[in-house]
A and B are shown apart, each in its own frame.
Chain A
Amino acid sequence: MLTVTGVSRSFGGVYAVRDVSLSVADGEVCGVIGPNGAGKSTLFNLITGHLAADRGEISFLGRRVDRLAPHRRARLGMSIVFQAARVFRGMTVRENVMVGMHGRTNAGFVSAALRLPRHRRDEREIAAEAERALGRVGLSEWADRPADRLPIGQQRALQLARALCARPRLLLLDEPASGLRGEERERLAALVEELRAGGLTILLIEHDVAFVTRLADRVVVLDLGQVIADGPPAEVRADPLVLAAYLGQAS
């Protein structure tokens, strides 16, 4: 599904991601953990194309994508939920989620301006898909509210709904549980489990090790931009290098 080979990226001479290789199999849930500043979000930005890699290759669904613009990678089937909430202001919750369908529809300015049949067909399809996604994350009741006034938990759910609306092949979640309270967190975990059961491939960044252990088939540990461990959750948790990285951070 996804293969990252020898990817590096530095900022002002300091490596944020250094010679990282990893691969994610179809249907796998792969956790990415590591101390603050380890390069996890940078790795996601490299995969989705929001940052260009200095070196290395990225393949997705058997095709080189490292030169493709982010919106092209999105259209191939990558969806990301960012660490910081990025809710579109001045739009309702529903409209925000509808944006997620952009890559799967194609009525443009002319169809819209002239209200051509293609516009109507796309709008129907977009509305139906958005409704489904809203229901899935439990936001149906909030659908017609202004999105920027949602509490943080709902904003996260909103982004997830937007990502799901795109029917991705690969879903990248950057600390989706941070800032969520107990029941919201539980709900998120249940949704991720449901998505996994549906066969979706997921890359999941999370600080909460228990949360990752529960959901991930495999865990990759980053420290100082490098992969220091890669394996089943139980094995990785016992890895001396990993323990040292976390202890080093705690001290």
Chain B
Amino acid sequence: MIGRVAVPVVAVVTLALPAVLDDSALAVYILLGLAAMVTVGVSLLMGYAGQVSLGQGAFYGIGAYTAALLTLGGVPPLAGLVAAPVVAAASALVVGTPLLRLRGHHLAFATLAMQLILLSVAGQLEFTGGDIGLQGIPQFGVGSWEAGGAAAYAYLTWAGLALVMLVTRNVITSRPGRALRALATSETAAASSGIPVGRYKLVVFALSAAFAGLAGGIYCYYTGYVAPGSFPVLISIQYIVMAVVGGLGTIWGAVVGATAITLLVQGLDGLATLPGMPSYAPTVLSYAVYALVLIGMVLFMPRGLVPALSRRRKSLSERV
């Protein structure tokens, strides 16, 4: 029901915005779309399949580095962009095999540790450019066409987001999706219905990593450089906050949550970079805001914005 109203509205706004926004606003718009893409994966993983990951930023980074390294090595950007989600998903399959035996906060800490390890490895290795990272990544392009400005990346980002949302919706409303939702409640009962629980958890982890990897791939072409500092742990926490704010287990919630948090953080960044503020103010403020927003949501709107709003609308229409 939300979908029927929201899809056309969002589609029109999405298509119109790149034409009217200036470059700095477009940067926010693109980063928002990329964050939403990762957050859809988080919502699928946490909200539907009941598995926690505090390391989605790692897959975002893996996607970005994959595309950057390939393209710098002379591979066409399109192939680099396709490889980004594939390599991220493959990495998830490898690390997920031991990690997904863990549950709840054990799994959360393990995925967090995975990202920390990956960041320090990327900071040490020569071929990833160490702490400085990789620079001079060519523009994205297909054949002779090259993405000229920010507007092209905005379209690319939002097309990617639409694809990710469509795949998620299709998966959720089908046999494998029901299996994921079932194992979120009871792995035992799911297994007795013939669901290979371990394999399904691995696949959904890989799918969410692929979404993050795709976003990372677009990111590297847009910014032209990647470095370990682009993928801090804070970014993984941010995706969780976005998913929770929008409403876990709703696809639109991921987009709404990403939008709400991005705009909020933008506003605060303006505040934190005012003259006289210390240099660490933006980071500290973001952490504080994430914490406050999370606590506020858990207390007042535990199911998130989208479920709360659609329920209010439903009860209103029932009253009339």
Contact = CB atoms under 8 A, between A and B. Distances in A.
A15 interface: no
B182 A71 contact: no
Contacts of B203: 109
A223 to B, nearest CB: 26
Contacts of A170: none
A113 B192 contact: no
Interface residues of B, number: 27
Q: Main SS of the interface on chain B?
A: helix
Contacts of A88: 181-182, 184-186, 189-190
B194 A102 contact: yes
Interface string A53-84: 00000000000000001110011001110100
Interface in B153-189: 167, 170-171, 174-179, 181-182, 184-186, 188-189
B185 A107 contact: no
A22 B307 CA distance: 51
B170 A112 contact: yes
B195 interface: yes
Given A109-B171, A109-B207, A112-B171, A98 B178 contact: yes
B197 A86 contact: no
Contacts of B193: 71, 74, 99-100, 102-103, 162, 166
B171 A113 contact: yes
B196 A112 contact: no
Interface residues of A, number: 42
B170 A99 contact: no
A90 B185 contact: yes
Interface of A: 48-50, 69-71, 74-75, 78-80, 82, 86-91, 95-96, 98-105, 107-109, 111-115, 119, 122-123, 126, 162, 166
4 smallest CB-CB distances across A and B, nearest first, come from: A103-B194, A112-B174, A86-B189, A70-B191
26 contacts: A50-B188, A50-B192, A69-B191, A70-B188, A71-B193, A74-B193, A78-B192, A79-B192, A88-B186, A88-B189, A88-B190, A91-B181, A98-B175, A99-B182, A99-B193, A100-B193, A102-B178, A107-B174, A107-B176, A108-B176, A109-B171, A112-B175, A113-B167, A119-B174, A123-B175, A166-B193
